[in-house]
Amino acid sequence: MKEKKLLDLSTISEEELLNLKICELPLKIEGTWLQSCVGELYQELERKGIKFKPPCYLADEWLTPDGEPVIGIPFFLAHPTLMKLEKKMMLDVEGGTKGWCMKLLRHESGHAINYAYRLYRRRKWQKIFGKFSKAYLDTYRFRPYSKSFVRHLEDYYAQYHPDEDFAETFAVWLTPGSNWRETYKGWKALEKLNYVEELIEEIKEKPPLVRRGRKYWHINSLRVTLKNYYKKKRLYYAEYFPDFHDVNLKKIFTEKSLPSQEGLSAKDLIKKYRKQILSNVSEWTGEKKYVIADLLDTIEKRCKSLNLNIVESESSALLKFSTYITTLIMNYRYTGRFQKIK
């Protein structure tokens, strides 16, 4: 294995980079922009009177291991070359800006403090947030208009699990200038924010019950190559890529250019029968119309980008397309995802 100190990631080719194992990457938080982010988090905790500062380390993703008062930060954020690779492979870099990184750090620190002081064992905590022992599913379904939860990270993450609800509530409470009392005035979520403040006032000067935590999925223990890491990651997040629907859409429609008089384009077909599809799919699957509407918007844009057209009768194309939409929605109903993970 190459010596880490001799490896300069900025000078090797992408092919060479992808063939490296994560444990071979010469990475650390110290000396990078992440160090200032972690330092800022510690300052925010200090200003709130919280003495405990969760140790941070480089892992394969954002995480606070269950029950462990430590924070894992994705390894790719520790080097600009890896951030560029992440952007190319995943289309986005989670936590790749200062503001985004701080939001995630505040969220993870909520988990770490929850575990450090074992707050989740308290009866009042469970009464307000729910049972910590509730099973964690791979996905979740949220209510976008609920005022029972704060809104910090995207996708209404507070609704995922009681532990996430606490972490999100803590993050809002911790954020400088959040003005949460006014922002959440009249919301049921305000009760949770007030409870977080009550809890912290009680424990902030006390030493943590769990002082150290195991650092799971530390980069030094990850022997998977970057190539295989991204292969697995792209498969799991496939439905978030623009080309997720392409193969199936090309089975229903054609990329061939057709004279306008021969019929509708795929995009026009979706627009023409949108209300009918919405009503029928919602009625027979029981899914909310806004979920179906968002899916139709995504597919309509993709059909336009691919310039797809109808090659058969409208009724036949509509039947096939409606069946496809129904299948996706049923997958979502039972798994929280449009795709099935084998």
SS3 per residue for 5-70: HHCCHHHCCHHHHHCCEHHHCCCCCCCCHHHHHHHHHHHHHHHCCCCCCCCEEEECCCECCCCCCC
In a domain, 152, yes or no: yes
At residue 325, the pLDDT reads 93
Per-residue pLDDT tens digits for 56-90: 999 999 999 999 999 999 999 999 999 999 999 98
User: Do 259 and 305 fall within a single domain?
Assistant: yes
Does residue 18 carry a pLDDT above 50? yes
The whole-angstrom separation of Cα 63 and Cα 69 is 11
Distances in Å between the Cα of 251 and the Cα atoms of 59, 244, 266, 273, 339 are: 40, 13, 12, 19, 17
User: Do 259 and 125 fall within a single domain?
Assistant: no
**What pairs with residue 38 in β-bridges?**
none
At residue 335, the pLDDT reads 73
User: Do 193 and 132 fall within a single domain?
Assistant: yes
Q: Is 1 exposed, middle or buried (0-12, 13-18, 19+ CB in 10 A)?
A: exposed
Last residue of one domain, picked from the residues 228, 256, 288 = 228
Indicate the range of 78-87, 220-229, 242-251 predicted with least confidence.
Answer: 242-251
User: Do 215 and 273 fall within a single domain?
Assistant: no
Structure confidence at residue 2 as a pLDDT band (50, 70, 90):
very low
Last residue of one domain, picked from the residues 170, 203, 228 = 228
In a domain, 233, yes or no: no
User: Do 219 and 249 fall within a single domain?
Assistant: no
Structure confidence at residue 340 as a pLDDT band (50, 70, 90):
low
User: Do 69 and 161 fall within a single domain?
Assistant: yes
Of 313, 338, 335, give the one whose Cα is nearest residue 325: 338
Q: What is the mean pLDDT of residues 41-49?
A: 97
The whole-angstrom separation of Cα 69 and Cα 213 is 5
Structure confidence at residue 289 as a pLDDT band (50, 70, 90):
confident
In a domain, 22, yes or no: yes
User: Do 72 and 216 fall within a single domain?
Assistant: yes
User: Do 213 and 260 fall within a single domain?
Assistant: no
Give the domain extent around 328: 239-335
Are 296 and 278 contacting, i.e. CB atoms less than 8 angstroms apart?
yes
At residue 1, the pLDDT reads 40
Structure confidence at residue 287 as a pLDDT band (50, 70, 90):
confident
Of 17, 139, 114, give the one whose Cα is nearest residue 75: 17
Domains contained in the chain, number: 2
Q: What's the DSSP call for residue 3?
A: -
The whole-angstrom separation of Cα 232 and Cα 227 is 9
At residue 4, the pLDDT reads 45
Structure confidence at residue 136 as a pLDDT band (50, 70, 90):
confident
Last residue of one domain, picked from the residues 205, 228, 251 = 228
